[in-house]
Amino acid sequence: MPDAVKRRFVETLAGAAVPQAEIAVVLAVTVPTLRKYYRDELGRGSAVIQAKLVGNLLRIASGSDGTALKAIIFSLQCRFGWSRYLPPQR
């Protein structure tokens, strides 16, 4: 059964883009069981990381370090499908 520690663990791994199949192996459950009991944590993990990246992007965008800005834009494009030509998906 899920407890607070496991929920935080799943959220952290989901935010780090660890595949659900691998998270399920670590918890010794099936993927459908993982999705059933940890649905909120799987979704929230990605959202938290995206929010942090956007926050950093806004902070760095006002600075002068072009390398860091390029790295964050690259991360957003790769991890979340952002494009400079299309608005972000909702």
In the chain, how many domains are there? 1
The answer to whether residue 87 sits within a structural domain is no
In a domain, 64, yes or no: yes
User: What's the pTM value of the predicted model, to 2 decimals?
Assistant: 0.63
Q: Does some domain include residue 17? A: yes
Task: Calculate mean pLDDT across residues 29-49.
Answer: 93
Residue (of 41, 39, 48) closest to 7 by Cα position: 41
Average pLDDT score over residue span 42-53: 87
Asked if 79 and 88 touch (Cβ cutoff 8 Å), the reply is no
In a domain, 38, yes or no: yes
Q: What is the pLDDT of residue 38?
A: 96
Q: Which residue has the higher pLDDT, 23 or 47?
A: 23
Residue 36 belongs to a domain:
yes
For residue 29, the model assigns a pLDDT of: 96
Helix (H, G, I), strand (E, B) or coil at 29: coil
How many other CB atoms sit within 10 Å of the CB of residue 7?
A: 15
Residue 57, domain extent? 4-80
Q: Residue 6 above 80 pLDDT? A: yes
Residue 58 burial class via C-beta count within 10 angstroms: exposed 0-12, middle 13-18, buried 19 and up: exposed
CB 33 within 8 A of CB 24: yes
In a domain, 70, yes or no: yes
Is 21 contained in some domain? yes
How large is the average pLDDT for residues 81-90? 72
What average pLDDT does this structure show over 45-62? 80
Q: Would 50 be classed as within a structural domain?
A: yes
